Amino acid sequence: MEPVDISKNDELIRKLTGIAQQGDTPIDPALYQKYDVKRGLRYADGRGVLVGLTRIGDVVGYEIDENSNKIAVPGKLIYRGYSVDDIVHDAEKNHQFAYEQCVYLLLFGELPNKQELDEFTALLGSLRALPPNFTEDMIMKAPSCDIMNKIARGVLASYSYDRDPENRSPENILRQCLELISRFSTLAAYGYQAKRRYYDEKSMYIHNPAPNLSTAENFLRLIRSDKSYTRLEAEILDLALVLHADHGGGNNSTLTVHVVSSADTDTYSAIAAAVGSLKGRRHGGANIRVMEMMADIKANVKDWSNENEVRAYLEKIARKEAFDRTGLIYGQGHAVYTISDPRCILLRDKAESLAKEKGCMEEFNLYKLIEKIAPGVLIDLHGDKKRICANVDFYSGFVYSMLNIPVELYTPLFAIGRIAGWSAHRIEEIVAGKRIYRPAMKNVMGERSYIPMEDRK
């Protein structure tokens, strides 16, 4: 067989790309208004279009008054009717990790008592190890430079190791979801170790997960060469997982679970699709952009405690004169939260304790200063009266950096937390949805007269 000339293929692809770009010219923005298209499934005032009902979680940032006006309120994150603030504070009072409780609550709709929690935690612990030969065959033999892709491939590969992958009964789907929830941290950690070995040319450490440890503890154990961590480190990572466990049914990756599940496909296909959504830079990677911005600020602001100096540089960023010239101050603003993001407040307060332990208070105070003045900078520049606040992404990357977690694991950590919510929504769609999502799109390409082959140029 003649070898393929790759250079010719590349040249042809470039040519075809040019043709495709000519055919897919931007659509006139006026047409969206003409046909009343809800771009991004959102109304003009930012409210999401209602496409379903859920009992799993809620994101509250505003109320609608009797005149259908949006009234901003302090943000609340609700899991199965309970405030996440209450869940977190109760776990802290009892010196417990909270993520496993949140998994139980999201899946089953009720808070577990101590015996139920102990049994459930033991069940999750017993399922953390990957199936026999999975690590060698599915992770080490096919490493990926991006851990999210490795997780998605690991999810799809799990289909082949499942004794009953196509069974759509609630009991079987629950079993599949519990196995994925338990193993997501292992998939991410092992995927990272393989990446270290094959892409970074560094040592690879494959530790067995410990069944008696929490999800947060196990993850820190698996990514560190000496398997060691402090209680405070595990607690703040556990908090991050709790805050990412669910965010209502309307976020992109969770909606993906509903849409794909509504087609009556298998669990692994639905969850892999959600991983692909979360990998997107507009969804799960925002904290990485925050870290890049903060590195730029720290390099260009001499006195991190000087409010005027920090404000001046933020104004340059907002005017597209500094950093990436997009005009965005990353980690500020949210589609729903306006006055406050409850996740941000909880993580910020816990981050202060870790910053003291790690000797990072100067940097922590810089974050707090930016959180304080950035909303005003944006309002002064754009004249926008809409209130904005710092979101959870503003502090999460900083927390992960203090934990010495590599940047390539920031979005996978989001997935390790969110698999709980995805699983709950998957089960809800199968049990209560029972109708395929089938929205409409308006075709704005007019019909054309066909051109016979001999007449084409």
CA distances from 229 to 362, 385, 399 (A): 23, 45, 14
Q: Give the span between the Cα atoms of 407 and 199, in whole angstroms.
A: 15
Catalytic status, residue 303: no
Question: 89 catalytic, yes or no?
Answer: no
* C-beta contacts of 89-95 below 8 A and 24+ residues apart: 92/235
Residues β-bridged to residue 60: 76
**Identified catalytic residue from 58, 85, 162, 283:** 283
How far, in Å, are 116, 265, 447, 456 from residue 452 at the CA level?
71, 41, 16, 7
Q: What residues contact 145, with CB distance under 8 A and at least 6 apart? A: 195, 199
Chain-centre distance for alpha carbon 457? 48
Task: Examine the residue annotation and report whether 334 is marked as an active-site residue of this protein.
Answer: yes
Bridge partners (DSSP) listed for residue 390: 332
Within 8 A by CB and 6+ apart from 151, the residues are 184, 187, 188, 191, 275, 412, 415
Confirm if 338 and 388 have CB atoms less than 8 A apart: yes
Marked catalytic residue, from 334, 380, 382, 455: 334
Residue in 238, 246, 341, 393 annotated catalytic: 393
Q: Which residues form the catalytic set?
A: 283, 334, 393
